[in-house]
Structure 1
Amino acid sequence: MGEEVHGPLAQTPTPSAGMQKIVTKHSFFCLKGKWKRGRHVVVVRIRSDRMCPQKFVFTVGVVAFTIAITLGGQVLADRFELANGETIEGTLLNPNERPRRVWLVRSSDGTSLQFDADAVTHVTRETPVQKEFHKIVSEYPDTIEGQWKLAEWCQEKKLEKERHDILEHMLELDPDHVEARRLLGYSRIDGKWHKREQLMAERGYSRYRGTWKTAQEIELSDRAEQTEVAQKNWIVRLKKLRMLVDKPQSSDSAAKEIREISDRHAVGALMLGISKEPAFRVRSWYLESLSRIATQEAFSAIVQIAIDHPDPETRLSATERLIVLGPHQAASYAVASLASEDSARINRAAEVLGRLGVSSAVDSLVNVLITVHTAVVSDGNSEGSTNATFTPSGGGLSMGGGAKRIKVESKNEAVLAALVKLTSVNFEWNPTAWRSWMATRQSPADCDFRRD
């Protein structure tokens, strides 16, 4: 095979064509992406260049676990992953060659190495700190103490991969090194070392985006992410359709597509559209699609529109949709809104309940026929108009600067109108009379209180 050389290749005799050298090295080297400490062999086959007989091209052949070429005592800068699974290091001489025909690599003493284009699968250009690591790695002895100091240096320089490989090498020197085991994620259980990944896997957990989750949690997380993406896509899509509505050549087809939306992921986009759309005609299309989707989320959205949209015509249109979809279910949503701190919202909810015609809401309406709020007003020494903040509970507010808190009784007109419509009687602003009348009816909560 040739003579064994224990020094830089530059110290060997002048090469000749067909000559083969074996270089034995003892150093920290890279094997399949991991740094290893040990003895490795590099076989260098030399052939003459056809174009220049005096120029020699060195082609590297890997023997055993040959990889890092450390000629002249200097580790090279670029890492080349070969098709056979091994890795070598050197400096790429022809980085801009397009298309790639050959890989030309040069060592520190000027030796050229050549590879066919398909012999190299990946090239990694190293950072300055990685180059520094290669220069100083041989300065640390292959002992627990030396390798521990090298691992600490890597941590300081944020070389996580190199540090991990060094810690694993430490376990080859001392399998029970507690700190190295801990840093590599091991736990000692019943006298044996186990990696956390193994323990968590046995408990049904998998690593997922930096945390440990069960298969069910991962599935739910993925599903939630897919839902979020679909919802965002609908926002974009609906905006495009809305723009097409304003173009004569596409108006009819865009309107038809909007009115036929049935994807549950479109609910948020439709709600957003209704809140911003200036044209009632288009808002009615969005409502039509929400009614078609008919999921719990879509139904809740229509109730919210019926109560809270600033346009009375849109609120009425939404309420009419609710009458068709399910008035009793809608009434339960509207009754919950009667607990609002805003008296205006209480009255809007009452309007919806009156139109839904669900008598089970009568008791709840009586409770908010007259509401007492706390108003905060300025005294005579303060400038400006009176400002008031209302809370149905009548709870006080702490104010400085001479402000006063007073009790304000609010008679809710829409609540009375809804009671009269649902019962066909009118006890006006007398809650006691309303409750007495209800008691005499001795009817189920969902009966029709109107006179026969």
Structure 2
Amino acid sequence: MLVLRPQMMFRVLVAVVAGTACNVGGWVCAGKIELSGGGQLTGDVKAAKKPDGSTTHAVVKIDDDLSVAIAGTHVRYTVVAEDLEEYRDRAAAAGQDAESQFQLAHWCKLNTLLPQHRFHLTRTIELDPDHRLARAALGYIRHNNESGWISAETLRRDQGLIHSSKGWVLPEVLAARNQADEADKQSKLWIKKFRRLHANAVRGDSEAIAEITAIADPMATQAIAAELLRSRNAKSNLRSLRMIYVRLLGRLRNGGTVAALVELGLNEPDELIREEALRQLTEFGAPSAVATYVPLLRSSSPGQVDAAARALTFFVDPELAFAYVDALVTEKQSQVQVGSGGTQAGFGNNGVSGMSQGASVFTKTSSFKHPAALQLVKAIAPGADYGYDETAWRQYFAALRNPYREDMRRDADE
């Protein structure tokens, strides 16, 4: 007897002929193996199973002179001849009863007789058109038509939807997803390529610098932004190269570049790089920058308030006057421990001894003045200077918005 190895199994598919399966009453009684890569083998099937029910290997006897051994990793599911023998008996007993046909369909599914499973579901609704569970298993739903049922696929197509790997969606949604997937793929390719270019540019390779400067593909945005962040704490001085990256982001002008420049404008320690990023934002990303920085004026972190106010000096807006004033002086609370802790023993002046706790914790409130916030306030009120007096500034801006009219009382009397 010839036994073929798994890597040879596809070569023997041509040996599977109709004569190897026997038909009894219209039902195939030979066993079957469906291959994970597509296709199937039929014949006398014997399968070895693991405790979890998966197949370790299977052997298909196609005829007296030819058998095929297949590793379990290549088997999607198997049907042995004994299963089909039991199936024939169950099929004969089901008769013309819809519920019996449905129960048989369920048994077929449990025994991986998938074509038979669908056949008996179809037979169920032929006998009982309103069999709810069989209809649902076949993908039908209730609908206002002559039969009262319609396939979910037909309904979705009538609604203008198309099927994708993630379900039914509108064509434009699928197109957007495909575009996003392609963009993500291209972006990842750029990350690898840009790291190579960056490494060469750091070594002074003029061709690499020229290639970087000439980049016009928006898909390179993530790669450039990532390298800007990675090189922030580089040991060598990369200011000139990083400045090229900032200006390159400014030319690309997309959502990713705005996000990268907004982060640089807030957290970049190199003043020249930071200011260049903010200058780029004034040309095309100001709304996003302001929307990010203004809420940070209320931060509990003095450093973050300073950074936000400093960045906002590039986007001065009189409408934000009261937000600027509120950031002139901020407070921060911290827990302070007094004493070394533990229990201490001692004697009073009268000679009486006692025990006391050696530490206590209380809340300390510290005030912080923010020069950048004062700079903002003065920028929109060049003729006034109340220093860090928030109350005076609020009164000043309130008076500007609601000027006092001397003749208001006279007008009311008239």
**Partner Cα distance (2:283, 2:81) in 1:** 73
**Partner Cα distance (1:69, 1:371) in 2:** 86
**2:91 aligned residue:** 141
State whether structure 2 residue 155 is matched by structure 1 residue 196: no
**Partner Cα distance (2:340, 2:160) in 1:** 70
1:347 deviates by 0.8
**2:253 aligned residue:** 294
Cα separation, partners in 2 of 1:134 and 1:377, compared to 1, 3 Å: farther
Taking the TM superposition and a 5 Å limit, the aligned residue runs for 1:137-216 are: 137-142=87-92, 143=94, 144=97, 147-157=101-111, 160-172=114-126, 174-189=128-143, 190=145, 191-216=147-172
Task: Show CA shifts across 1:13-43 (max 9, x none).
Answer: xxxxxxxxxxxxxxxxxxxxxxxxxxxxxxx
**2:299 aligned residue:** 340
Cα separation, partners in 2 of 1:366 and 1:134, compared to 1, 3 Å: same
State whether structure 2 residue 263 is matched by structure 1 residue 304: yes
1:184 deviates by 1.0
**2:411 aligned residue:** none
State whether structure 2 residue 25 is matched by structure 1 residue 75: no
Task: Show CA shifts across 1:33-84 (max 9, x none).
Answer: xxxxxxxxxxxxxxxxxxxxxxxxx996xxxxx898217995044579xxxx
Matching residue's letter, 1:217: V
Cα separation, partners in 2 of 1:196 and 1:325, compared to 1, 3 Å: closer
**Partner Cα distance (1:362, 1:299) in 2:** 25
Please state whether the residue corresponding to 1:140 is helix, strand or coil. Answer: helix
1:410 deviates by 1.8
* 2:369 aligned residue (400, 411, 427): 411
**Partner Cα distance (2:330, 2:285) in 1:** 29
Asked whether the equivalents of residues 31 and 42 of structure 2 are also in contact (C-alpha less than 8 Å), the reply is: yes
**1:97 aligned residue:** none
* 2:189 aligned residue (224, 227, 233): 233
Taking the TM superposition and a 5 Å limit, the aligned residue runs for 1:31-430 are: 69-70=21-22, 74-77=29-32, 89-90=42-43, 107=62, 110=64, 127-129=77-79, 133-142=83-92, 143=94, 144=97, 147-157=101-111, 160-172=114-126, 174-189=128-143, 190=145, 191-246=147-202, 251-277=205-231, 278=234, 279-323=238-282, 330-331=289-290, 333-355=292-314, 362-380=321-339, 403-420=361-378, 423-424=381-382, 426-430=385-389
Task: Show CA shifts across 1:238-259 (max 9, x none).
Answer: 22222332456xx222222222
Please state whether the residue corresponding to 1:242 is helix, strand or coil. Answer: helix
Matching residue's letter, 1:415: A
TM-score by length of 1: 0.60
Task: Show CA shifts across 1:392-425 (max 9, x none).
Answer: xxxxxxxxx9643343322123323444566555
Asked whether the equivalents of residues 79 and 90 of structure 1 are also in contact (C-alpha less than 8 Å), the reply is: no
1:320 deviates by 3.6
TM-score by length of 2: 0.65
Asked whether the equivalents of residues 105 and 117 of structure 2 are also in contact (C-alpha less than 8 Å), the reply is: yes
**Partner Cα distance (2:41, 2:292) in 1:** 70
**Partner Cα distance (1:131, 1:71) in 2:** 12
**2:406 aligned residue:** none
Cα separation, partners in 2 of 1:305 and 1:67, compared to 1, 3 Å: farther
Tell me the percent identity. Answer: 22
Cα separation, partners in 2 of 1:106 and 1:418, compared to 1, 3 Å: closer
Which structure: greater helix fraction? 2
Asked whether the equivalents of residues 331 and 366 of structure 2 are also in contact (C-alpha less than 8 Å), the reply is: yes
1:313 deviates by 3.8
Q: List alignment gaps of at least 5 residues for structure 2.
A: 1-14, 46-59, 67-73, 343-358, 403-414
Please state whether the residue corresponding to 1:405 is helix, strand or coil. Answer: strand
1:237 deviates by 2.6
Q: Number of residues paired by the alignment?
A: 335
